[in-house]
Amino acid sequence: MEFERVAKLGAEVSGIDLAPDLPQDVIDEIEQGLLEHRVLFFRNQDLNGEELVDFSRRFGESFVQPALAHKYQELLFLENDKSKPPALNTFHQDMTGLAQPPALHMLHALVVPDGGGDTMWACNYSAYETLSDEMKRILGSLTCTHTILGYYEPIVRNWENSEEKIKEFEKIFPPVSHPVVRTHPRTGRKSLFVNRFFTNFINGFTPQESENLLQFLYKHIETPEFCVRLRWRPGTLAIWDNRCTSHYALADYWPQHRKMQRASVSGDTPF
Ligand SMILES: [Fe+2]
């Protein structure tokens, strides 16, 4: 297996066919590569949904997305076409509105548009490490409130009894508080841990202070030098560390068809 670095983060991995029953030393090598590069790209991978979930379980317990209509599922299909335009074109870290957001995602391309539909990742370590010592000191003592409802509310609004459902969501998934600077449990490196999807405000700040500082941090995370961009092909599989990267799915291919399958690994409480 070979790792070829692509940018500040990201590596193309060659010489491996991913499968649920790979020997443990190979899984360990993939995990080490992931900790080093944060995003790994594997081309021409042939796994069905069940195999993808089983492969992901080699890295930890499955993360089940709190799904709509209260169905819980380990395999998620992300599909957009003429009737369902893509709308996730914002940098974010997944599900930080939960007390324990997912650690890893594995996304596998099934149908890829002729042009467009790339994904970008940003390195939240780099974003943190390039701040001044004084800014690091200030951010180190701050926490933010995150909620998943910002993401789910527009979807739930289209349901019958939407008001009732939203109240139910608020009860099951109350807002959570996370540090603005997160320490990675495996590498010990610090990263910025705020995003446009799920972060609501900085605790203890006035609304203007919170909004201005958050906007600065979001833009800083999205610095092109901290990013890598993947051109998908059918069979491309990307694995990324959701604890220290942000991602952005480019919505530039509509009305073409794009279909991906995803399995995820649970994470711990950010500290
Ligand atoms: Fe996402």
Q: Can 247 be counted among the known catalytic residues?
A: yes
For the chain, what is the mean pLDDT?
94
**Predicted confidence band at 118 (pLDDT cuts at 50, 70, 90)?**
very high
Residues 6+ apart with CB under 8 A from 190: 125, 128, 129, 136, 181, 182, 183, 184
Q: Residue 212 has what pLDDT?
A: 98
Is 94 marked active-site? yes
- CA–CA distance, 198 with 74 (Å, rounded to integer): 21
> How far does residue 148's CA lie from ligand 1's centre (Å)?
12
How many angstroms separate the CA atoms of 8 and 5, rounded? 8
Closest CA to 268 of 202, 178, 200: 178
In the DSSP assignment, the letter for residue 63 is P
Q: Which amino acid is at 7?
A: A
Structural fold of domain 2-265? Double-stranded beta-helix (3.60.130)
* Ligand 1 mean position, distance from CA 228 (Å): 15
Structure tokens at 232: 């998908």
CB 37 within 8 A of CB 52: no
Domain range summary for the chain, segments of one domain joined by +: 2-265
Mean of pLDDT values over 72-97: 89
Q: Kindly give the distance from the C-alpha atom of residue 159 to the centroid of ligand 1, in angstroms, as a whole number.
A: 22
71 has pLDDT over 70: no
Is 248 strand, coil or helix? strand
Of the listed ranges 123-127, 159-163, 214-218, the least confidently predicted one is 159-163
Query: 164 or 93, which is more confident?
Result: 93
What confidence score (pLDDT) does residue 88 get? Answer: 74
Mean pLDDT for 174-201 is: 97
Residue 73, beta-bridge partner list:
65
Residue 30 tokens read as: 């993939």
Tell me the whole-structure pTM to 2 decimals.
0.95
